[in-house]
């Protein structure tokens, strides 16, 4: 329970914001005598390290022991079409109307697009994490009630780690699905190539289906030295159904002889060779601290900076290295999280 003096501060700050015109008086502030309600809308689903880690970090950063949480899983790996995303987004917004949370916490782009952005400029505070697109692209730039944490991949660091593992890597090829969050990532990759003068970006391919992905990876075997994997959740099979990303990564392990990187730790568990990963805990922790600033300290959401987390986490899949015939220096193994095996081989 927030202590009474903190509650009074929260109420005073809410009133001050309203009087100043920064935000309308937040109606739910007046209900601060009960435990605060937080609705967490996941773009993806649980159990999954990326989503669960963000949520755990958020709770740690929020640090309000009696806060009440509800979780809504959009599961856009399954609900991947625009129509399906719109449908589950509407369901989440209906839950907002029914449960009346004190704050919405969304993780990843789809939840921001289909839930929080609909409340932009209203009284309900919203905090996000794991977002690749810019606030302007989401239409929330300058929204007084929205704060959040951007997700920016550690591309240069991941390539540097890869080249320490395999110094011959010079030609990079990028491949991913057609997800709308990837163009800003690709743009950052192109800009950051200037920081890698020893490397060349030889191909960037966004493909709609698993067949196109296989064709791209097969073509890279001769034209590139390494592959950069982006999104692989929305690759369709011949029936138009999403191919599970674990199946996609298994195919890569079994059919590609090129070292590869991605930016998320679960990919390394499924066979990507290496990554300086975006830390899901750091993303959630930063978002939780923003939420605490709003709910406890009375900060106006729009006054809080929207910045990416900077702390990456190096990870190497030693089994993939051995399969590729790469001997990884012990110093790299000692300074990285080491993964052995492939999670799709032991799904339990």
- Indicate if 117 and 208 belong to the same structural domain: no
3-state helix, strand, coil in the chain (%, to 5): 45, 20, 35
Q: Per-residue pLDDT for 51 more than 90?
A: yes
Q: Give the pair of three-digit tokens for residue 260.
A: 């590869």
Question: What is the pLDDT at residue 87?
Answer: 98
61 vs 30, 77, 281, CA distance in Å?
24, 27, 10
Identify the band that residue 345 occupies on the pLDDT scale cut at 50, 70 and 90: confident
- Indicate if 177 and 267 belong to the same structural domain: yes
Q: How much is the mean pLDDT over the chain? A: 90
- Indicate if 54 and 184 belong to the same structural domain: no
The total number of structural domains that make up the chain: 2
- Indicate if 245 and 272 belong to the same structural domain: yes
Q: Per-residue pLDDT for 146 more than 80?
A: yes
Q: What is the pLDDT of residues 323-344, one digit of tens each?
A: 999 999 999 999 999 999 999 8
Q: What is the pLDDT of residues 307-323, one digit of tens each?
A: 999 888 999 999 999 99
- Indicate if 19 and 124 belong to the same structural domain: yes
Nearest-10 Cα torsion for 272, 275, 280, 285: 170
Question: What is the pLDDT at residue 181?
Answer: 85
- Indicate if 96 and 167 belong to the same structural domain: no
Rounded Cα–Cα distance for residues 323 and 309 (Å): 33
Residue 66, Cβ density class (10 Å: 0-12 exposed, 13-18 middle, ≥19 buried): exposed
- Indicate if 331 and 300 belong to the same structural domain: no
Percent of the chain with pLDDT over 90: 82
Question: What is the pLDDT at residue 102?
Answer: 98
First-to-last C-alpha distance (Å) of the chain: 39
**Residue-range definition of the domain harbouring residue 173:** 155-278+312-345
- Indicate if 295 and 222 belong to the same structural domain: no
Rounded Cα–Cα distance for residues 85 and 132 (Å): 17
- Indicate if 138 and 163 belong to the same structural domain: no
Q: What is the CATH number of the domain that holds 317?
A: 3.40.50.2300
- Indicate if 76 and 165 belong to the same structural domain: no
- Indicate if 34 and 143 belong to the same structural domain: yes
For residue 279, which of 46, 57, 44, 48 has the smallest C-alpha distance?
A: 57
> Among 19-33, 133-147, 173-187, which stretch is predicted with the lowest mean pLDDT?
19-33
- Indicate if 133 and 244 belong to the same structural domain: no
């Amino acid at each position: 329970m927030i202590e009474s003096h903190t509650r009074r501060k929260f109420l005073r700050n809410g009133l001050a914001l309203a009087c100043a015109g920064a935000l309308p008086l937040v109606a739910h502030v007046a209900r601060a005598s009960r435990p605060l309600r937080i609705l967490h809308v996941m773009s993806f689903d649980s159990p999954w390290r990326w989503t669960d880690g963000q949520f755990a970090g958020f709770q740690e950063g929020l640090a309000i022991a009696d806060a009440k949480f509800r979780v809504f899983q959009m599961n856009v790996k399954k609900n991947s079409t625009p129509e399906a995303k719109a449908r589950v987004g509407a369901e989440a917004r209906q839950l907002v109307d029914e449960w009346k949370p004190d704050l919405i916490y969304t993780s990843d782009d789809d939840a921001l697009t289909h839930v929080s952005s609909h409340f932009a400029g209203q009284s309900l505070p919203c905090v996000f994490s794991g977002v690749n697109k810019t606030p302007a692209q989401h239409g929330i730039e300058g929204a007084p009630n929205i704060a959040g944490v951007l997700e920016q991949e550690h591309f240069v660091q991941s390539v540097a780690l890869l080249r320490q593992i395999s110094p011959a890597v010079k030609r990079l090829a990028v491949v991913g699905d057609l997800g709308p969050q990837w163009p800003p990532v690709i743009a950052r990759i192109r800009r950051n190539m200037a920081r890698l003068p020893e490397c060349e970006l030889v191909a960037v391919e966004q493909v709609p289906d698993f067949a196109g992905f296989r064709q791209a990876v097969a073509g890279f075997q001769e034209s590139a030295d390494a592959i950069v994997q982006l999104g692989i959740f929305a690759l369709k099979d011949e029936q138009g159904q999403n191919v599970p990303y674990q199946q996609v990564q298994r195919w890569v392990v079994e059919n590609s002889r090129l070292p590869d990187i991605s930016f998320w730790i679960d990919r390394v568990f499924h066979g990507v060779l290496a990554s300086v990963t975006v830390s899901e805990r750091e993303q959630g922790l930063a978002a939780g601290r923003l939420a605490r600033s709003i709910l406890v300290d009375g900060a106006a959401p729009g006054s809080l900076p929207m910045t990416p987390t900077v702390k990456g986490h190096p990870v190497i899949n030693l089994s993939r290295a051995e399969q590729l015939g790469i001997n990884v220096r012990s110093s790299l193994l000692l300074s990285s999280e080491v993964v052995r095996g492939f999670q799709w081989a032991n799904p339990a």
